[in-house]
Amino acid sequence: MVRWQPGAADRLRIAALDLFEEHGYDQTTVAGIADRAGVTERTFYRHFPDKREVLFAGSEQLAERASAAVSAAPQGAAPSLLVDAALAGLAESFPDERRPFSRRRQARLDSEPALRERELLKLSTLKGTLVGALAARGASAPAATMTAEAVLSVFHVAFLRWIEEDQQRSMAELQQEALAELRAALGGAGTSAEEGR
């Protein structure tokens, strides 16, 4: 008889999402989540610093991948290439298999202010990481900030479409679409050259 089954963190994540859907975030206790996952409350806190975090663990990976992709770009690369790289890095965290889970998770984030709050903090941190990576690739501080904001804006629009019902297209595809829309909305030069590439 084993003392503990592996994958406690994953079981806790699933149990939490299930219970949040069934009874709402407030009405779900950490003890209840732990119970369903077959561990004690104390073990929950070994894996997650607080109740909200159970739906956010892994968000550091998102930032790491995005900044790694940017860092892999050649020094002094054109801003548009850095945008492409950052988006590609982000897309890695959203394979098609993850879609159902992301959909359910997002529905919870939207309906619970406490979770929305945490989401904003994570996005803010992600933005900071991106700004740092972009600056390291030669972007000026204001350019890095604006570029990061553009990346997150595109990412956000694409993500919302990605989790729509019946959506079949991949995150990468939807990001390309949203980026094209943003470029079109902004107008100006610098775009046509890219398209001919």
Partner DNA sequence: GTCTATAGTGCGATAGAC
Partner DNA sequence: GTCTATCGCACTATAGAC
Residue 116 binding partner per list DNA, its own copies, none, with a CB distance cut-off of 5 to 8 Å that depends on partner kind: its own copies
- Name the nearest CA neighbour of 171 among 80, 99, 84: 99
Q: Is 166 in the site for DNA (CB under 7 A)?
A: no
Q: Which is nearer to its own copies, 40 or 153 (CB)?
A: 153
Which of 14, 43, 102, 177 is in the footprint of DNA by CB under 7 A? Answer: 43
Q: Is 184 in the site for its own copies (CB under 8 A)?
A: no
Per-residue mark of binding to its own copies, 117-146 (x: CB under 8 A) = xx-xx--x-----------------x----
- Is the distance from CB of 141 to CB of 133 less than 8 angstroms? no
Q: Which is nearer to DNA, 17 or 148 (CB)?
A: 17
**Residues 84, 85, 86, 89: what is their CA dihedral angle, to the nearest 10 degrees?**
120
Rounded to whole angstroms, what are the CA distances from 80 to 5, 87, 128, 166?
Answer: 46, 11, 19, 31
Residue 31 binding partner per list DNA, its own copies, none, with a CB distance cut-off of 5 to 8 Å that depends on partner kind: DNA
Which of 22, 24, 46, 141 is in the footprint of DNA by CB under 7 A? Answer: 46
Taking the CA of residue 62 as centre, how many other CA atoms within 13 Å lie in the half-sphere pointing to its CB? 19
Angle CA 86–174–136, to nearest 5:
10
Q: Is 113 in the site for its own copies (CB under 8 A)?
A: yes
Least distance from its own copies to the Cβ atom of residue 116, Å: 7
Residue 3 binding partner per list its own copies, DNA, none, with a CB distance cut-off of 5 to 8 Å that depends on partner kind: DNA
- The DSSP symbol for 181 reads H
What residues have CB less than 8 Å from 164, skipping those under 6 apart?
none
Rounded to whole angstroms, what are the CA distances from 128 to 48, 97, 121, 184?
Answer: 23, 28, 11, 26
Size of interface with its own copies, in residues (CB under 8 A) = 11
Binding site for its own copies (CB under 8 A): 113, 116-118, 120-121, 124, 142, 149, 185, 188
Binding site for DNA (CB under 7 A): 1-4, 8, 28-31, 34, 38-43, 45-47, 49-52
